[in-house]
Amino acid sequence: STRGRVIKCKAAVAWEPRKPFAIEVIEVAPPKAHEVRIKIVASGICRTDDHVLKNTLSVTKFPVILGHEGAGVIESVGEGVVDLKPGDKVIPLFIPQCGECSCCQNPKSNFCLKSDLEKGTGLMSDGTSRFTCKGKLVYHFISTSTFTEYTVVDEISVAKIDDNAPLDKVCLIGCGFSTGYGSAINTAQVEPGSSCAVFGLGGVGLSVVIGCKTAGAKRIIGIDINADKFAKAKELGATECINPKDYTKPIHEVLKEMTDGGVYYSFECVGHVQTMEAALKSCHVGYGTCVIVGVAPSSSKLSFDPMLLFTGRTCKGSAFGGWKSKDSVPKLVCDYLARKFDLDGLVTHTLPFDKINEGFDLLNKGESIRSILMF
């Protein structure tokens, strides 16, 4: 057995920003106390990985192993780990749930102060890395790092899931699906009969569409500058789709005309300040709510007329769809197995892990929704 020993395996290492991944042999140290080592089986490619690679979200140190939308099987556990054992199917969690911090103890929050999302240390909670390559330390990414055959995560950053779960599908519950679906269900709490506008129809925006439909929204308007995204959006529940490039007037004005003054709920799933402002302006005066799901490039600032809020609009943010991660991920997997929602429609490509650079090319050409890398 490999328990207690260093594992040599393949990983996609990002040595520096804006360069393709290099498939390297790395060393993965055994898990320390309250950590687990996971054999990754499948990992989705999310736009956030690409933002980090391009250094537009400057939260990461290089060299790094990216990937945060994975699923796998526990290889071994460190001392003191009681709720997980070798052979368990798991999903790594990019927002942990320590259960003890003020966010974890607040039923209204799904954040955790142990998260590395804001700090970006690129290390385990004890301040060290489990990865080395060619004698150099390699950083972790938001307590997950799934673009590797083996990874190590803290026990608060992993959820045990049902033994029957197909890992090549439920990996999407690790980020894109849960982020979008939860933004509609938990953060906005979309009501039956309401109208919704979804800006950006990638994996996250389409998952918002699924959530709005599940919640019983009457109108779900998809907005994207790439009209190739419309067919899939309609298949998943969008009632109409519009392309800002087809109009001379600002898109929020088009939406206001279409909806008698604005939508109940708008969602920003692009990650640009311009679309964030447009999403807020698309909300109906007096009761509209705008949910910001995307993260804009570091150092950019949102600016809008505060009258928009004074007159009764709400603007909220949502990370991981408001789900308390360790509690909710196993339930979402059960809901998927019970066919309460479909993930298959989000998967456009399946590739062997070493074709990871092709997967990123597909994303950048706008051709894929989700590419799943298989290990």
The two most distant CA atoms of the chain are separated, in Å, by: 65
Helix or strand (DSSP H, E) at 12: strand 7-13
Task: Answer whether 336's CB lies under 8 Å from 330's CB.
Answer: no
Total of residues contacting ligand COD (CB under 6 A): 31
**Is residue 152 involved in binding ligand COD (CB under 6 A)?**
no
**Is residue 221 involved in binding ligand COD (CB under 6 A)?**
no
- Binder of residue 321, out of ligand COD, Zn ion, none (CB less than 5 to 8 A by kind): none
Of 66, 175, 190, 292, the one binding ligand COD by CB under 6 A: 175
Residues from 302 through 321 that contact ligand COD (CB under 6 A): 319
**Pick 93 or 112: Cβ nearer Zn ion:** 112
- Give the count of beta carbons closer than 10 Å to the beta carbon of residue 35: 25
Of 12, 188, 223, 283, the one binding ligand COD by CB under 6 A: 223
**Is residue 200 involved in binding ligand COD (CB under 6 A)?**
yes
**Is residue 224 involved in binding ligand COD (CB under 6 A)?**
yes
Least distance CB 277 / ligand COD (angstroms): 11
Of 31, 205, 211, 237, the one binding ligand COD by CB under 6 A: 205
Burial of 105 (0-12, 13-18, 19+ CB in 10 A): exposed
Task: Answer whether 142's CB lies under 8 Å from 57's CB.
Answer: no
Report the number of secondary-structure helices (H) and strands (E) in the chain.
10, 17
**Is residue 176 involved in binding ligand COD (CB under 6 A)?**
yes
**Is residue 203 involved in binding ligand COD (CB under 6 A)?**
yes
| Beta pairing class for 70-77 and 89-92 | antiparallel
Sign of CA dihedral 119, 121, 123, 128: negative
- Binder of residue 155, out of Zn ion, ligand COD, none (CB less than 5 to 8 A by kind): none
Least distance CB 245 / ligand COD (angstroms): 9
Nearest to 374 by CA among 70, 165, 131, 88: 70
Of 217, 269, 276, 280, the one binding ligand COD by CB under 6 A: 269
Least distance CB 3 / ligand COD (angstroms): 31
**Is residue 211 involved in binding ligand COD (CB under 6 A)?**
no
Q: Can you tell me the distance from the alpha carbon of 285 to that of 86, in angstroms, rounded to the nearest whole number?
A: 54
Nearest to 363 by CA among 11, 137, 26, 66: 66
**Pick 165 or 204: Cβ nearer ligand COD:** 204
Nearest to 77 by CA among 154, 176, 175: 154
**Is residue 92 involved in binding ligand COD (CB under 6 A)?**
no
What is the contact surface with ligand COD in residues (CB under 6 A)?
46-48, 51, 94, 175-176, 179, 199-205, 223-226, 229, 244, 269-272, 275, 293-295, 319, 366
